A and B are shown apart, each in its own frame.
Chain A
Amino acid sequence: MEKTVNQKAWFLVLPVLLLVAFSAVIPLMTVVNYSVQDTFGNNQFFWAGLEWFSEMLDSDRMWDALGRQLMFSCIILAIEVPLGIFVALNMPKSGVWSSLCLVLMSLPLLIPWNVVGTIWQIFGRVDIGLLGYTLDALGIDYNYTQDTLAAWITIVVMDVWHWTSLVALLAFAGLKSIPDAYYQAAKIDQASRWKVFRYIELPKMTGVLMIAILLRFMDSFMIYTEPFVVTGGGPGNATTLLSIDLVKMALGQFDLGPAAAFSLMYFLVILLISWVFYTVMTTLDKREG
């Protein structure tokens, strides 16, 4: 068949081009623009080359923030994934209680991030917060505004409270898709509870768990609002995660150049990790097929 040539077809992709240009390309290029220039205000810019990038790569500040960020993401994954699976395994499989569980579990997911932050900020306060006051009354030294460990525990517990449901719901969906025959066969084969989990439930959940891990990793890697509302990055820089540091640099100190270089590298790291996850997931899928 002969192809019809009609250059007017380009107009059909124009709306998408415009949308992508204004929503992604132009803002991103602005950042690129800032990252290679220096300014002393008055909208006067000077070419700086890759200076900001090398400065950021040499600064302890970014590496420290990256270290804290990785630690935070790893800790919450290490807690939320096993806990989510455990919750999913113990949820009623059907009936009213199952529905009730699902609704209750979805609730934290529906709360806006800054509200979650505020809830925990107040909850943990030693003077008026239920948790802080109780711990204090019990004689436990807990003060998230002064103690690094307390601050970390607070933001980790907050994230676990907010997001474990997501892992649990995804894992539950994976569990629900396992036909009864598998459990019956396992009974006939005299498989122990652990073996049922290891050889039936876990393999069937692999797909959804990969999605859960990817979502939770990316989300926690970009987290800003919740810890910012609770600790503001403190005490000191103890809970200053990457995005908090970035905002401090860009808006607090108005260091646009370094901040732009920082955010480009931040973006590349996220892109890289997403790509790794995607590749691993698709190869897993292929192996299953």
Chain B
Amino acid sequence: MAKITLDNLAHSYLPNPASEDDYALKELNHDWDDGAAYALLGSSGCGKSTLLNIISGLLHPSQGRILFDGQDVTHAPTAERNIAQVFQFPVVYDTMTVRDNLAFPLRNRGRDEAYVAERVQEIARMIGMEDMLSRKARGLTADSKQKISLGRGMVRKDVNALLFDEPLTVIDPHMKWELRTQLKKLHHDFGHTMIYVTHDQTEALTFADKVVVMYDGRVVQIGTPEELFERPEHTFVGYFIGSPGMNVFPARVEGDTAYIDGSEVKLAGGYAAIDGKVEIGVRPEFARLSQTDGLPVRVHRVEDIGRHKIIRAEVLGHDINILADEDEHVSADMNRVTFDASHVNVYANDWRVAPTGEAA
């Protein structure tokens, strides 16, 4: 186990990056706490796999350092870092038995057979594959293969971190849930540092203690699932997390009031003058249809998705999604919308602005 420190880290796939746009991963400083479970969340091409490959040593960063427990491993090869990685597509050695697969990393490191056998048995129990040890790995289901990859990572006792690169992509939906639960349990029982890359917010939010949201090569927010939901630091976080995502409207902010095309929206706190592109963001959960108060709204359609209703509508020429409870009454004469003032966030150039008085 180790604490992983990223110091001034950045990476570009170009040999001579000129501008910031050339970087697939923009400058980043971060500590990954020992024994915590992190999720790296972002859409495809946002740099999350780049970051993961830098940590695992498959890629050398163009600048900055990476430290394991304070020791610089920036240029250390993958094998020396003692990390384990589970890939998107299950990697197993087809011609070997499950037992030999699990033993492979230990045998390559020249451990004696008695120790190997004992460890393999232990790991097989952890991943629930004791009765399959003598089978050939070829022909197993995708989820079993993923478990073997995971087991191959954990079989080494000195493993510094377990990295997961969208490991559930090829798994059947009903097995996804089971594997995720098992992974969480393993983390709980053995306390490995885990970094889990995904573009699926449900996966990220259920798996991780802390979610790292990436956008366009940059880490835009690191926080607990609750923080990401309540106070998205960037409009991308608001839009990406939540289903549907946060509503964002261009606005003008004066003190504790925002104006969307001249119509007033109450804010929870006061704001100093803001430069740049000003927007306010409201999650669909905190918007409410009303007969009397709020902004004029035109409802396009109502989608009933079981526990909720999603109301697709238009307010002052902007699209808006509103979430209503299953048993909440929606009628044709509800042509106004109100926002919960304490959950209206203000953004300048896509980054959240804290109201005066809030601790940053």
A residues bordering B, Cβ < 8 Å?
179, 181-182, 184-185, 187-192, 195, 199-200, 203-204, 287-289
Contacts and interface: CB of A to CB of B under 8 A. Distances in A.
A189 B152 contact: yes
Contacts of B85: 184-185, 188
Given A181-B89, A195-B108, A199-B93, A188 B138 contact: no
Contact of B108 (A184, A192, A287, A288): A192
Interface string B55-86: 01010000000000000000001110001110
Contacts of A192: 108
A192 B104 CA distance: 11
Interface in B30-74: 56, 58
A187 B104 CA distance: 12
B104 A203 contact: no
Contact of A185 (B87, B96, B138): B87
Contacts of B104: 189, 191, 199
Interface in B157-185: none
B109 interface: yes
B146 to A, nearest CB: 12
B149 A184 contact: no
B79 A199 contact: no
Given A188-B84, A188-B153, A189-B105, 14 more contacts: A179-B89, A181-B88, A181-B89, A184-B58, A184-B85, A184-B87, A188-B56, A188-B85, A190-B105, A190-B109, A192-B108, A199-B95, A199-B104, A288-B139
B192 to A, nearest CB: 15
A192 B152 CA distance: 16
A182 B106 CA distance: 17
Contacts of A203: 93-95
A191 B149 CA distance: 15
Nearest to B78: A187
A181 B87 contact: yes
Contacts of B77: 187
Contacts of B91: 179, 181-182, 185
B87 to A, nearest CB: 4
Contacts of A200: 93
A187 B139 contact: no
Contacts of B139: 287-289
14 contacts: A179-B91, A181-B87, A181-B89, A182-B91, A184-B56, A184-B78, A185-B91, A185-B152, A187-B77, A188-B85, A189-B152, A191-B104, A199-B104, A288-B138
Contacts of B89: 179, 181
A34 to B, nearest CB: 50
Given A179-B89, A181-B88, A288-B138, A187 B79 contact: yes
Contacts of A191: 104, 108
A243 to B, nearest CB: 38
Given A195-B108, A199-B93, A289-B139, A188 B88 contact: no
A184 B58 CA distance: 7
> Which of B58, B84, B91 has the largest number of chain A CB atoms within 10 A?
B91
A200 to B, nearest CB: 7
A287 B152 contact: no
A184 B139 CA distance: 22
A191 B96 CA distance: 14
B87 A199 contact: no
Contacts of A185: 85, 87, 91, 149, 152
A132 to B, nearest CB: 46
Contacts of A288: 94, 138-139
A181 B166 CA distance: 12
Contact of A189 (B58, B94, B95, B108): B108
A175 to B, nearest CB: 15
A219 to B, nearest CB: 29
Nearest to B58: A184
A148 B91 CA distance: 51
A185 B104 CA distance: 11
B312 to A, nearest CB: 40
Query: What 7 A-B pairs have minimum CB-CB distances, sorted nearest first?
Result: A181-B87, A185-B91, A189-B105, A190-B108, A190-B79, A187-B78, A199-B93
Among A181, A184, A190, A200, the one with the most B-chain Cβ atoms within 10 Å of its Cβ is A190
A195 to B, nearest CB: 7
Contacts of B79: 187-188, 190
A181 B56 CA distance: 12
Contacts of A181: 87-89, 91
A63 to B, nearest CB: 39
Interface in B95-114: 95-96, 104-105, 108-109
In this complex, the member of A185, A199, A204, A289 whose beta carbon has the largest number of chain B beta carbons within 10 angstroms is A185
Contacts of A195: 108
A128 to B, nearest CB: 52
A191 B110 CA distance: 11
Nearest to B95: A203
Interface string B132-161: 000000110000000001001100000000
B166 to A, nearest CB: 11
Contacts of B152: 185, 189
Contacts of B94: 203-204, 288
A33 B7 CA distance: 86
Contacts of B78: 184, 187-188
Nearest to B88: A181
A288 B138 CA distance: 6
